[in-house]
Amino acid sequence: MTPKAEFFGRIEDYCLNLLDAKEKQEFERELATNEELREEVQLHKDIQDAVLEMDVLDLKGTLEEIHKENLVESPSNGSFALLEELSEIEELKDELTFEELINSFESMPKVHVYQHEKTSNENVHRFYEEQRNGADTGQVEEDMNGFDMEGLEGLEEAVLETDILNLRETLQQVAKSVEPQYSVEEIDDYLNGEMGDEILAEFEAELKQNSALLDEVGLHKDIENALEETDIMNLRDEMKNIMETETSWNVSERSIEDFIDGLLEEELLEDFSAELKENTDLMAEVALREQINNAIGEKDVQSLRASLGDARKSAEEHEVKSIVMPRFDVHSTRFWRNSVAMIIVLVGLIGVLNTSMQSVDRAYDKYFESPTWASERSATTALDGIQTARIAYQQENYLGAINLLKNTPVTDNEAFVKDFYMALSYQNLQEWDKAVEDYTKVIDHANNLFIEEAEWYRSLCYLKLNEKAKAKQELLAVIDRKGYYEKDARAVLRKLRYTLK
């Protein structure tokens, strides 16, 4: 080996990491002082890296091939292939008039080409002109190659090399994480003092020098410590649970209602407003309650809904061949039922919604303080027992209504009508047990039009009786029906979710 070859051989060995420790040390000492050697080594490394980047080389090769193919395939006149056809026309060798071109086949593209031919100061034409003339072809190719490669170098850096660098980094990271020198079992054995003496010595020696192993052991220790913190894990779970189930506002339900009703004063109002300003949950709650109040206040809409409901029921009733007893004044009964339903729903729901979590009672008190009845048209027909009871009911003579109803003979199949109004009267008299009893009869009948209403009113009675589980069950049944009271039942459930637990 000549000294020059030996020189390169050593550089190569160094770059490929083939020198033994002593040779490497010697080489590096030389490298530190010899700038020429450093440059040579750098060059070797660059070449090595470049050679290793086979994908870049392949791409470069492919691009060059494409470029060459383009050069070969480029038409000599460089007119986007359109002149190929034109060149076949002998006449084109001569001067063509514009009209002649227009009249020929594919005239518009040809006109376009014609114009290009006429203008010689465009770059594209210069370029193709030079190619056609064959003048200095080699030079042009060289220039073009130079130009192309310049562009490609930028492309390589921007697109490929950053990718390669990132990939290399990622691979190194992956290698670090997936190839631990010691298994979980061995590290655990070490931490638990279960490692054999021989391996222990080796492990500890490694530990002193290997920071990755040290980190790994540290991680194991940390994990063990973390998992021993069962109290903290429990506390975190508890906090999470509270935050998922509790409301985040610091004011009572009553304060919210009073705020909406404009009854909060002075300090309370100040505190409430301060919280409302920042507490988005409270803002949402106030907005929801206001909307519910507005919705309940829409008596006309509710009345319309009731009428539509009746129309539907009436149609169904017709189909099942009159479930309600035929001797009833249907219109009057419906009116009574709707009126009672309306008032009970309005007043009852307002009462329930206005109440605080603990004050279902107060809601009912409020409801029964001043029940107002919609005006009713005068009954000119002969009064039967039910109609007389209705009048008594209107006059708030609930006891009288009950007595009249009790004395009104009805068949078993018609008893649910009587039971329903008896229940309503008992409810007005705050005799919840009796009301529940009669509502139950209506529900148990299983085949009448009052069941949904009976369930709804019975749920309110259960609330009054403080039978929360039953009330909840009843409200859920109402929701399941997806009928007229579904939304109201949901609202009551939502409002009372703390007391219904």
Partner 1 sequence: MISYTDAQILKGILRHDNLILQYIYKQYYYKVNYFIKKNQGSEDDASDVFQEAIIVIYRKLKENDLIFEKSSFQGYLFSVCRFLWLKQLEKRRIEREKLNDSLPYQEDLYDDNLVELVDKNEKYGLYQKHFKTLSSDCQKLLQLFFEKVSLKEIAKIMGYKTEKYAKTRKYKCKELLIKRIKQDTEFKKILEDDT
- Closest distance between partner 1 and the C-beta of residue 238, in Å? 6
Q: Which residue has the tokens 């309005």?
A: 346
- Closest distance between partner 1 and the C-beta of residue 274, in Å? 10
User: Residues in the chain, how many?
Assistant: 501
Long-range pairs for 316-321: beta carbons < 8 A, 24 or more residues apart: 316/449, 317/449
Neighbours of 357 (CB within 10 A): 14
Residues contacting residue 106 through CB under 8 Å, at least 6 positions apart: 82, 85
What's the DSSP call for residue 104?
Answer: S
Binding window for partner 1 (CB under 8 A); candidates: 14-22, 106-114, 159-167, 215-223: 215-223
User: Mask: binding to partner 1, 374-413, rule CB under 8 A, as x and -?
Assistant: ----------------------------------------
Q: Is 410 helix (H, G, I), strand (E, B) or coil?
A: coil
Q: Which amino acid is at 487?
A: K
188 binds partner 1 (CB under 8 A): yes
275 binds partner 1 (CB under 8 A): yes
Binding window for partner 1 (CB under 8 A); candidates: 42-50, 129-137, 179-187, 482-490: 179-187
**268-to-224, 253, 264 alpha-carbon distances in Å:** 51, 13, 6
- Closest distance between partner 1 and the C-beta of residue 230, in Å? 7
Which of 230, 282, 231, 233 shows the shortest CA–CA distance to 259? 282
169 binds partner 1 (CB under 8 A): no
Which of 413, 252, 246 shows the shortest CA–CA distance to 320? 413
Q: Which residue has the tokens 């709650």?
A: 285
Q: Is 76 helix (H, G, I), strand (E, B) or coil?
A: coil
Count of residues touching partner 1 (by CB under 8 A): 40
Binding window for partner 1 (CB under 8 A); candidates: 138-146, 195-203, 239-247, 379-387: 239-247
177 binds partner 1 (CB under 8 A): yes
Binding window for partner 1 (CB under 8 A); candidates: 68-76, 177-185, 321-329, 484-492: 177-185
231 binds partner 1 (CB under 8 A): yes
d(CA 11, CA 41): 6
Q: For 373, list phi and psi in degrees, rounded to 5.
A: -105, 145
Binding window for partner 1 (CB under 8 A); candidates: 62-70, 153-161, 235-243, 394-402: 235-243
Among 73, 99, 246, 265, binds partner 1 (CB under 8 A): 246
Closest to partner 1 by CB, 74 or 499: 499
Among 202, 281, 361, 444, binds partner 1 (CB under 8 A): 281
What's the DSSP call for residue 457?
Answer: H
Among 229, 270, 376, 480, binds partner 1 (CB under 8 A): 229
- Closest distance between partner 1 and the C-beta of residue 65, in Å? 42
Binding window for partner 1 (CB under 8 A); candidates: 134-142, 250-258, 398-406, 466-474: 250-258
153 binds partner 1 (CB under 8 A): no
Among 234, 273, 407, 466, binds partner 1 (CB under 8 A): 234
Record the tokens describing residue 428, joined without a space. 């007005």
175 binds partner 1 (CB under 8 A): no
286 binds partner 1 (CB under 8 A): no
Is residue 454 within 8 Å of residue 442, measured between CB atoms? yes
Closest to partner 1 by CB, 49 or 224: 224
Closest to partner 1 by CB, 43 or 212: 212
Residues contacting residue 315 through CB under 8 Å, at least 6 positions apart: none
Closest to partner 1 by CB, 229 or 261: 229
d(CA 351, CA 430): 14
224 binds partner 1 (CB under 8 A): yes
Listed in sequence order, the DSSP H helices in 17-161 are: 21-33, 35-52, 54-73, 82-88, 98-103, 107-118, 123-133, 137-155
238 binds partner 1 (CB under 8 A): yes
267 binds partner 1 (CB under 8 A): no
Q: For 260, list phi and psi in degrees, rounded to 5.
A: -65, -40
d(CA 305, CA 483): 11
Closest to partner 1 by CB, 91 or 228: 228
- Closest distance between partner 1 and the C-beta of residue 375, in Å? 45
- Closest distance between partner 1 and the C-beta of residue 297, in Å? 29
148 binds partner 1 (CB under 8 A): no
Tell whether the torsion through CA atoms of 369, 373, 379 and 385 is positive or negative.
negative
Three-class HEC string of 114-126: HHHHHCCCCHHHH
Interface ranges with partner 1 (CB under 8 A): 177, 183-185, 188, 219-220, 222-236, 238-240, 242-243, 246-252, 275, 278-282
